[in-house]
Amino acid sequence: MEKYTLSLHHYLSFVVTLFGSLLGSFSNVVVFRSAESRSVIFPPSACRSCNHKLSPLDLIPVFGWIFLGGACRYCKEPISPQYPLVEAFMAFITGLSFYKTGPGLNFVLVSGFAAIWFVASVVFVRQEQKKYSPFLWAAVYASLLLRPLLPGISFNSKVSAIYTGAFFFALLVALIAMSKKDFHEYFSKAALLYILLLASPGLAYFWIAVAISAIIWFAERFETQAKHGVKAFFALNIVYIIIFMFKMPHFFSLNF
């Protein structure tokens, strides 16, 4: 059997990165169509403006948008930059996960957790999803994927403190949400906050996230700042996803 070498690892990391961009393309479909309660499988991808069926060249992740100049080939209407940005970030998640952990279960856990977190954050910032269920499932799946990654947890460990703190802090937000009219909006914040705090690689990151979240949510009490607060909380999640990507997988770093 051929030895797993550093050069082979670099090659496979590149291949996985390309696959990640395809996963990002599918994630865009999920984000847009779930808000419209449409199937993510059928019908095939089409322009959102003229409804013309897209060709394979139109669907090339990232580069398809660049080659088309950010506009539909058929009706010339602008194409949202969300498409290439989500594709590129998902490629980053899968590529770096594989590079850090190598082939195996750890890669699936790290990339799966980060990907679910990222898609939930994109759904949140678009403010189109009027149901709380996507965020509930994101929190559940994220917990199941993250738990095997963590080292042994003792009662007094930092990891245990983060888990406990994340649960009760997010639970408090969720309880407050139950008394509000727009339950799905508050619940989405609670779920993302839970995931964010759960993935904080240390108590310092945990308390920084708590402080920033509190400031953002206080600012949202003022109507003029509501949209800025949503964008700021989304940005906080993206920053912490990047931190997680560089901090968490080091438990499984490869040695050649």
Averaged over successive runs of 10 residues, the pLDDT of the chain (256 residues) comes to 80 95 91 77 80 83 89 89 94 94 88 94 88 85 77 55 72 66 76 87 82 83 73 94 80 48
The verdict on 28 and 90 lying in the same domain is yes
The verdict on 131 and 82 lying in the same domain is no
Q: Is 198 helix (H, G, I), strand (E, B) or coil?
A: helix
Query: Looking at residue 256, what is its pLDDT?
Result: 46
How many CB atoms are located within 10 Å of the residue 96 CB?
21
Retrieve residue 160's tokens.
């245990």
Query: Looking at residue 158, what is its pLDDT?
Result: 61
The verdict on 163 and 239 lying in the same domain is yes
- How far apart, in Å, are the Cα atoms of 192 and each of 25, 46, 139? 22, 31, 7
122 found inside a domain: no
Query: Looking at residue 180, what is its pLDDT?
Result: 59
108 found inside a domain: no
In terms of Cα–Cα distance, which of 188, 195, 190, 184 is closest to 238? 195
Query: Looking at residue 19, what is its pLDDT?
Result: 95
Query: Looking at residue 13, what is its pLDDT?
Result: 94
The verdict on 142 and 222 lying in the same domain is yes
- Spatial neighbors of 25 by CB under 8 A, at least 6 apart, are 59, 61, 83, 87
The verdict on 203 and 253 lying in the same domain is yes
253 found inside a domain: yes
Give the range of the structural domain holding residue 166, as residue numbers without chain letter.
127-256
The verdict on 92 and 143 lying in the same domain is no
Query: Looking at residue 85, what is its pLDDT?
Result: 95
Query: Looking at residue 91, what is its pLDDT?
Result: 97
What does the buried/exposed string (b/e) look like for 9-24 if buried means 16 or more CB atoms within 10 Å of the residue's CB? Answer: beeebeebbebbbbbb
Instruction: State pTM to two decimals.
Output: 0.86
Retrieve residue 14's tokens.
């590149």
Query: Looking at residue 74, what is its pLDDT?
Result: 87
Residues 197 and 249: their CA atoms lie apart, in Å, by: 17
What does the buried/exposed string (b/e) look like for 121-141 if buried means 16 or more CB atoms within 10 Å of the residue's CB? Answer: bbbbbeeebeebebbbebbeb
The verdict on 15 and 136 lying in the same domain is no
The verdict on 85 and 140 lying in the same domain is no
Please give the tally of structural domains in the chain.
2
The verdict on 228 and 137 lying in the same domain is yes
The verdict on 52 and 89 lying in the same domain is yes
Residues 9 and 15: their CA atoms lie apart, in Å, by: 10
- How far apart, in Å, are the Cα atoms of 169 and each of 116, 139, 182, 204, 209? 21, 14, 20, 16, 11
What does the buried/exposed string (b/e) look like for 103-113 if buried means 16 or more CB atoms within 10 Å of the residue's CB? Answer: eeebbebbbbb
173 found inside a domain: yes
Instruction: Evaluate whether 95 touches 17 at the Cβ level (below 8 Å).
Output: yes
The verdict on 133 and 225 lying in the same domain is yes
The verdict on 140 and 252 lying in the same domain is yes
Query: Looking at residue 154, what is its pLDDT?
Result: 46
